[in-house]
Structure formats: C-alpha cells, structure tokens
Amino acid sequence: MPIVDVLIPTFQRTTALAATLACLLGQELESFSVVVSDQGEPSALEDGTIQAVLRALRALGHEVRTYTHRPPRNIAEHREFLLQQASAPYVLFLDDDVLMERWVLRRLVETIQEERCGFVGAFPAGLSYLHDIRPHQQHLELWEGPVHPELVEPGSPAWERAQLHRAANVWHVGQRFATQPRRYKVAWIAQCCLYDRAKLLEVGGFSFWPRLPRYSSGEDVLVQLLLLWRYGGCGILPSGTYHQEVPTTVLNKRGTVDGHALDLLPELLERLGLASAVDRTAPGQPVP
C-alpha cells in the first residue's frame, strides 16, 4: 500500500492540471498513488497530454484512479468525495495549479511522521511577484521545538501569520533556509497540504459540505483550525512549490462566494468538545 494518496480536485483547468501531474513524475518519494476527480465539461481527463502523463505515472508503478464527479456542488463536497476514495495513512490535497520540486512530497511526509501533527503544508509562491518584496508581510514564527496543538482564531494576532502566504513572500523568506529547512507556525495553509488521514477523519473531514452553498470557500481553513487545536500543524520552508496563477474556479458569476465555511466553526468546536479548551486558551498559545 502506498504511504500517500495524492488527491487532486480539478475543474476546467486542462493545461494547469497537466503541468501539476507532470511534477509528480520525478518525486523523490516513490510510495504514492494519484486520485484525480474532474468536474469540468468536457472532462480534462480526455485530453491527450493528461492521458500521457497518467500513463507514465502508471508505468512508474503508481496506482492512478480517475473520476468524473458531477454535478459540482461545492469545493468542500469535492474534497470529501476524494477523501472517501483514500486509504493511505496520509493524503496530500494538491490543487490543480501547483508546481512542486522533486523533494517536496518526501519532506512533507518526513515532517508529519516526525511531528505526528495533523497536517504539514508547502504553500506555493506566486513568482509573478518575484521582485515585489514585502517585508511588512514576512513576519515568521519558527517552531523551535516539537509542533504542538495551539489556538488560532480568526482576527487574533496569530491569524496574521497568513500574510506570509501572499504574493511571493514564502519564496523570499524561504531563501534564508535553503540549506537548513525549517518548520513554521501557520494560521492555515492551502493548495498543497499533507494530512494525517485518520486525524482528518477524526475531526469530520469535509463532511460539513451540505451546510455550504454551491459557491463557497474556507473549507480547508476550517478543518485546519480544528486540527491545529487538537493536533497542531505547520508549514515547511523552503516550500518548493509554485502557483501557476491561473484564475480561480470557485467564484460565482459576480466574482464572489455565497458562503464561508468558517461560519460553521463554533458549531464544530462544540461538537468535537473543543469549545471549552478554546475558552481557556489565549490565541496563539498551546491548547491544554
């Protein structure tokens, strides 16, 4: 059995998906399978280039499974569908517009095994901002000891950690650690995130999806906050990942969303028995 299931939800991004899949071919970690679920019409899975990459992955010994999962309901439902197809100890939710260096998957797995936390992410830099250096957004909190559960709430000082994930900040900051990779504290980390599958299922995965409208966001933020409070999580620097910077596909015709998953946070905290711990803990501090 592979140690990682790479889960890729895709929608109307044929070219970007082909590039993302191609980055899996040379990964130093060889023990992974690939699961792609497409909601576009026509399906990107019919594209010749994508078929060629999938054949190459199979030839290299990776199990590859593909699905057309329609109709689109919301991105949380799409992630939940993929999670239900997984069986490996770890799952990498990889967006269909992310490029990875060859060591990324290995380092993510090594980190989560060492830390035994809920998730480890490699946030992609937008290199069109390579020359846009933003020191005011590059505040960094490194983990100096083991990763542990901590309280991070929307609007708290710890929530400002997300500023590091704007533009090319992770690239600029990551260059300091090119020869000595480090783990850092996050509020949340999207697009390339490795989860301990059992821990993700324990907090409910993305099963809250029926509570969200078709065009919604924040589903990964919500589950990561729950995991941060129960198990902890971190990011890695350098991240070794790069955003293709193609337009988002999760917005409605007005260019907005109709709902945000964080609205469900109080309810899920209560259901998981975390509400009392939150009441006793200052933001950014270890959860008792």
Is position 288 within any domain?
A: no
Q: Which pLDDT belongs to residue 287? A: 67
Considering the entire predicted model, what is its pTM?
0.95
Beta strand 64-68 pairing with 90-94? unpaired
pLDDT in tens, 229-274: 999 999 999 999 999 999 887 777 787 888 899 999 999 999 888 8
Q: Is residue 285 part of a domain?
A: no
**Which residues constitute the domain of residue 195?**
4-280
- CA angle centred on 43, ends 41 and 47, rounded to 5°: 135
Number of domains composing the chain: 1
**Domain-located, residue 287:** no
Which of 11-15, 53-57, 85-89, 109-113 has the least mean pLDDT?
11-15
**Is residue 286 included in any domain, yes or no?**
no
Residue 97 domain-assigned? yes
CA dihedral sign of residues 270, 274, 277, 281: negative
Domain with residue 265: its CATH number is 3.90.550.10
* Integer CA distances (angstroms), 141 to 130, 173, 182, 208, 237, in order: 22, 11, 10, 31, 12
- Per the CB < 8 A criterion, the answer to whether 169 and 130 are in contact is no
160 in a structural domain: yes
In a domain, 266, yes or no: yes
pLDDT greater than 80 at residue 278 = no
| Confidence category of residue 117, pLDDT binned at 50, 70, 90 | very high
- pLDDT > 90? residue 280: no
pLDDT in tens, 141-178: 999 999 999 989 899 999 999 999 999 999 999 999 98
Q: What is the mean pLDDT of residues 268-287?
A: 73
